[in-house]
Amino acid sequence: MKADTCITMLKALADETRWRIVQVLLAGPSTVGELAEKLEVSPYNASKHVRIPREARIVATEKEGKTVECRVADELRKKLSNNKMALDLGCCTLRFDQAKRGSK
């Protein structure tokens, strides 16, 4: 993987809300509305946060009418660990099962 691609992906996950979005999506697809409920943010904020990992090719979206369904991008889903909570970006592997909300 090229360094600039890796940097873009890591920047996309640097925000806690975007990290939590990917963490939720590793369990399965969700709509933006469902993400907003699970993360306790407004649908507007969830939608804005989904855009960044989508542009970094971490998240894929599909729009049906007014509903936008989100999932981990197929290319990354193929590289998931056995427990489905470690995401191999090609430059590094991120473990979403050990991250706790609000931890530093």
Q: Is the pLDDT of residue 99 over 60?
A: no
pTM of the model: 0.84
- The 8 Å CB, 24+ separation contacts for 2-8 are 3/91, 5/90, 5/91, 6/89, 6/90, 6/91, 6/92, 8/56
Among 1-5, 24-28, 60-64, 68-72, the minimum mean pLDDT is found in: 1-5
